Amino acid sequence: MTNSAFLAFRAATAPEVPGCFIANARPGQSVLVAVHGISRNAAEIAMRFAAHPDFAQTTIIAPVFDKAGFGQYQQLEARKAGQTRADTALIALLDALAASDDLPTAHISLFGFSGGAQMAHRFAMLHPDRVARLCVVSAGWYAMPDPAIAWPYGIGDGAGAALVGPEFFDIPSTVIVGNRDTRVDASVRQDVQILEHQGRNRLRRARCYVRAAAAYAERMGTATRPQLLTLHGVSHDFTQCVIEGDLITVAAPVLLDSNVSFNGPAGANHKRD
């Protein structure tokens, strides 16, 4: 794997450690973890990032969370005996790769699309010490920043206390969604809790989450605010977002460039309506 600019698959080393695709792996350079949606297109996501010139000097890790082993990986839930929570599994994978490949995985950039966006922002909420920058795209729904709403719909423990500390809101965070990602089908959950606090479709839910996260961050006294970027003319398809919405180019500065400001008004668009 070392010094390889090509995509390779690393098989699972134990039931609690997921397999993954790795590209551009070189010791010492920054690491991007990119999490798939329920189509589990980890190979495509890894290849799209690895082929982009902005990520030529970044190690790309795309884990594969199969349903049998990792349950509802989107919500970090292991629902059956023998399953492993996805956050525990990802930490185990990152630590294993640090030991075997000398990759600096203690502090990563984290990207997720659709179900992977659900997983990524929840992972960052519970493990902010592992995440340097966060970019989530087209999540089906979010853990809303409200301790009165129990996890995984909110950040409460069920008794009104917050499971998520202020450290999460210090992470530079960006939410991206297509302005045509408004279709409601069987894959878009319509639980009463979600409808009440987030709306019916992914575009509305992204806007509600960013607005609520910015308000909560202000109440917590943190300096950063999440930003919302809208890809115009695209809906809920990773390949379309990349080809027609230039998703990788849009995500590159928020994942790699420490000079990007995250203190602007929430809801700023990549392109103006």
Could you read off the pLDDT tens digit of each residue along the chain, which spans 273 residues?
444 458 999 999 999 999 999 999 999 999 999 999 999 999 999 999 999 999 999 999 999 999 999 999 999 999 899 999 999 999 999 999 999 999 999 999 999 999 999 999 999 999 999 999 999 999 999 999 999 999 999 999 999 899 999 999 999 999 999 999 999 998 899 999 999 999 999 999 999 999 999 999 999 998 888 999 999 999 999 999 999 999 999 999 999 965 444 444 344 445 432
DSSP conformation class of 163: S
| Residue ranges of E strands in the chain | 8-10, 20-23, 31-35, 59-63, 108-113, 131-137, 173-178, 227-231
Q: Where are the domains of the chain?
A: 8-256
Phi and psi for 134 in degrees, rounded to 5?
-135, 130
CA dist., res. 99 & res. 42, Å (int): 22
CA dist., res. 169 & res. 151, Å (int): 17
CA dist., res. 119 & res. 102, Å (int): 25
Can you give the pLDDT at residue 262? 46
Give the other-Cβ count within 10 Å of 5's Cβ: 11
Give the other-Cβ count within 10 Å of 85's Cβ: 19
Global pTM value = 0.93
The yes or no reply on domain 8-256 and CATH 3.40.50.1820 is: yes
In the chain, the amino acid numbered 203 is: L
Helical spans, DSSP H, in 40-191: 42-51, 67-70, 86-101, 115-126
Per the DSSP assignment, residues forming a β-bridge with 74 are none
CA dist., res. 270 & res. 233, Å (int): 12
Tell me: cis bond preceding 152? Omega within 30 of 0 counts: yes
